[in-house]
Amino acid sequence: MSVVTSAAAAEPNPLREGLEQERVPDASVLVIFGAAGDLTHRKLIPALYSLAHDGLLPGGQAIVGFARSDFSDESFRRSLREACDKFARTRPTEDAVWDNLAKSIFYIQGAFDDPAAYDRLAAKLAEIDQACGCGGRRLYYLAVPPPFFPVISKNLGEKGMVGDPEQGGPFTRVIIEKPFGHDLPSAKELNRVAVTTFRERQVFRIDHYLGKETVQNLLVLRFANGIFEPFWNRQYVDHVQVTVAESIGVEKRGNYFESAGITRDIIQNHMLQLVSLIAMEPPVAFEADAVRDEKVKVLRALRDLPRAGMESVAVRGQYAAGSVLGEHAEAYQKEESVSPDSKVETYAALKIFIDNWRWADVPFYIRAGKRLPKRVTDISIHFRLAPYPLFRKNNQVATQPNVLAIRIQPDEGISLKFESKVPGPTVRTAPVTMEFRYATSFGAEPPEAYERLLLETMLGDSTLFARRDEVETAWAWLDPLLAAWSQSGAPQPYPAGTWGPAAADQLIERDGRKWRRP
């Protein structure tokens, strides 16, 4: 049984109202380092186009690409138009919207370590300021691997291209893509370099999961409703599950994945961010530091993983050959740029605890993997059973626990499973599901994550971005696990197209529970 909620046709559409009430930022220049890359074409420019389409970009907003590839302004614009035609949420691309955006897109060719290229960039920025009225406001997006960050930061500082709003000047902000380091020492070094040129409040560490509409809705679900928060604790919650599953393999990212693995790629950032939002205490205000203060408290409360018997709380796997969505999938060790005897994990499952008053002894089971049966990110809150099985004699099957599930992707929405009477003369119960879906209720797909995050950066709101202490605390907790795995044997194989190695099922089943199949 499924009950789907939808907004009444006669009522105003809250999604449209929300767009109308959005603040529009002041015009600035967004400089994208690494602008010839995949991220710019698949995510950044399509997101900016969609913002322009929805009327959320200011007039005069300018974009400057910076990379080594040989582009002119016009050829760069053509390549970005093709990207919007393929990847923008608001397709097909409207000529009038694109033309208005494209006239303020420019390109600077140069190497990241070439001081002369920064002179050309500075001259172009001054020219844009005069033509577009950007007033010296700067956004620097580092769509580059972490090793390039220090040299870019150094050159921007030496060329006087970083303003300080605390000294009364226009704002300058820098956006850093994950990974935020490879371990705790490298994360600390990256953060040290960041605050050498920029102040911490100017640094926006982007984790695209935090821009997803359903992730943001976690806070609204918990703190804007009176029915959930009273039960959001160890008295009523039996356990929590978080799944991040991908049906694809590593594709063309073999070199990166060989140095990262699924734990660094997904768990250290995306999954721990989700856990912190699920488990955090109510912030004193919906403001950046207030929200992030509570998230850090959760990360600090994570129970240390045991050094002895690590296998009882942590499982890692690596996909072997198999079939995904009806198509043959090669083993990870056969992928391009992957070592034939690689010991890198493509799957990880952990049982973790948060040692605080709210969550003491409530297990959080988290798992992430590649080449699983489907692409899905799912959070499920599993409540304790009713204290007495009143209808046990009438049921042929045992009563099931209530489950509140939040689907992050795809088909963003929330569902609640509860027991209901089966129609008929006898009293029999069966689980039913009540569902809320964004597309059904609001009549539109939610904005892409990068749309929201780029807009928040322009507005200077860092609520949805990771703070320095969040990053370092997460690495401090995870490093012992990574060290233990580096000294252990190979990950356990699992056929592509399955839900991971058998040991991952045993991890949760020996506690009398089962993984939810999203």
- Determine the pLDDT at residue 436: 85
Q: Which of 354, 406, 417 is nearest to 380 (CA)?
A: 406
* Beta-strand relationship, 376-383 and 237-245: antiparallel
Q: Which of 17-21, 50-54, 218-222, 344-348 has the lowest mean pLDDT?
A: 17-21
User: What b/e sequence results for 436-459 when a residue is b if at least 16 CB atoms lie within 10 Å of its CB, and e otherwise?
Assistant: bbbeebbeeebbbbbbbbbbbbbe
**Per-residue pLDDT for 310 more than 50?**
yes
- Determine the pLDDT at residue 489: 84
The better pLDDT of the pair 430, 505 is held by: 505
pLDDT tens, residue by residue, 243-277: 999 999 988 888 889 988 999 999 999 999 999 99
Q: What percent of the chain stands above pLDDT 90?
A: 67
Beta-bridge mates of residue 354: 302
- Determine the pLDDT at residue 3: 38
pLDDT tens, residue by residue, 397-406: 566 888 999 9
* Residue 257 sits in the same domain as residue 366: yes
- Determine the pLDDT at residue 5: 38
- Determine the pLDDT at residue 59: 86
**What is the mean pLDDT of the segment spanning 295-302?**
97
Question: How many C-beta atoms surround the C-beta of residue 129 within 10 A?
Answer: 20
**Per-residue pLDDT for 14 more than 60?**
no
Computed over every residue of the chain, the mean pLDDT equals: 89
User: Residue 144 sits in which domain range?
Assistant: 19-207
Given 149, 183, 207, which residue is the final one in a domain? Answer: 207
Is 192 domain-assigned? yes
The better pLDDT of the pair 413, 282 is held by: 282
Residue 265: give its domain's CATH number: 3.30.360.10
Q: Which of 460, 402, 452, 468 is nearest to 429 (CA)?
A: 402
Q: H/E element holding 504?
A: helix 502-509
The better pLDDT of the pair 220, 64 is held by: 64
pLDDT band at 447 (very low <50, low <70, confident <90, very high): confident
**Per-residue pLDDT for 393 more than 70?**
no
* Residue 81 sits in the same domain as residue 104: yes
Is 476 domain-assigned? yes
Q: Which of 191-200, 243-252, 395-404, 465-474 has the lowest mean pLDDT?
A: 395-404
Is 221 domain-assigned? yes
Q: What percent of the chain stands above pLDDT 70?
A: 93
- Determine the pLDDT at residue 397: 56
Residue 151: give its domain's CATH number: 3.40.50.720
Candidates 239, 270, 328, 382; catalytic one: 270
* Residue 120 sits in the same domain as residue 163: yes
Query: Are 219 and 303 a contacting pair, CB within 8 Å?
Result: no
- Determine the pLDDT at residue 9: 37
**What is the mean pLDDT of the segment spanning 472-495?**
93
- Determine the pLDDT at residue 76: 96
Given 176, 207, 238, which residue is the final one in a domain? Answer: 207
**Per-residue pLDDT for 452 more than 50?**
yes
- Determine the pLDDT at residue 78: 95
Q: Which two tokens stand for residue 108?
A: 């600077």
* Residue 194 sits in the same domain as residue 341: no
354: DSSP letter: B
* Residue 253 sits in the same domain as residue 381: yes
Is 166 domain-assigned? yes
Q: Give the highest mean pLDDT range of 131-140, 162-171, 344-353.
A: 344-353
pLDDT band at 282 (very low <50, low <70, confident <90, very high): very high
- Residue 328 catalytic? no
Beta-bridge mates of residue 205: 176, 466
Given 157, 185, 207, which residue is the final one in a domain? Answer: 207
pLDDT tens, residue by residue, 54-83: 999 988 899 999 999 999 999 999 999 999
Is 14 domain-assigned? no
Beta-strand ranges (E) seen in 71-196 are 105-109, 138-142, 172-177
Query: Are 493 and 203 a contacting pair, CB within 8 Å?
Result: no
User: What b/e sequence results for 464-491 when a residue is b if at least 16 CB atoms lie within 10 Å of its CB, and e otherwise?
Assistant: bbbbbbbbbbbbbbbeebbebbeeeeeb
- Determine the pLDDT at residue 317: 96
Q: State the pTM of this model.
A: 0.89
* Residue 227 sits in the same domain as residue 256: yes
* Residue 78 sits in the same domain as residue 63: yes
Contacts by 100-104, CB closer than 8 A, 24 or more apart: 100/52, 101/48, 101/49, 101/52, 101/57, 101/61, 101/63, 102/77, 104/60, 104/61, 104/62, 104/63, 104/128, 104/132
- Determine the pLDDT at residue 8: 35
- Determine the pLDDT at residue 413: 86
Query: Are 204 and 457 a contacting pair, CB within 8 Å?
Result: yes
Rounded CA gap, 320 and 331, in Å? 4
**Per-residue pLDDT for 13 more than 50?**
no
DSSP string, 287-329: SHHHHHHHHHHHHHTBPPPPSTTGGGTEEEEEEESEEETTEEE
Beta-strand ranges (E) seen in 395-507 are 403-409, 413-421, 429-437, 492-495
Is 2 domain-assigned? no
- Determine the pLDDT at residue 396: 56
The torsion of the CA quartet 322, 323, 324, 327, rounded to 10 degrees, works out to: 130
Q: Which of 380, 373, 414 is nearest to 400 (CA)?
A: 380
pLDDT band at 178 (very low <50, low <70, confident <90, very high): confident
**What is the mean pLDDT of the segment spanning 213-232?**
89
pLDDT band at 295 (very low <50, low <70, confident <90, very high): very high
- Determine the pLDDT at residue 131: 87
- Determine the pLDDT at residue 398: 63
Q: Which two tokens stand for residue 438?
A: 């964004």
Is 185 domain-assigned? yes
* Residue 284 sits in the same domain as residue 342: yes
Query: Are 177 and 207 a contacting pair, CB within 8 Å?
Result: no
The total number of structural domains that make up the chain: 2
* Residue 398 sits in the same domain as residue 494: yes
Is 396 domain-assigned? yes
Query: Are 176 and 204 a contacting pair, CB within 8 Å?
Result: yes
* Residue 198 sits in the same domain as residue 252: no
* Residue 220 sits in the same domain as residue 183: no
**Per-residue pLDDT for 431 more than 80?**
no
* Residue 168 sits in the same domain as residue 216: no
pLDDT band at 411 (very low <50, low <70, confident <90, very high): confident
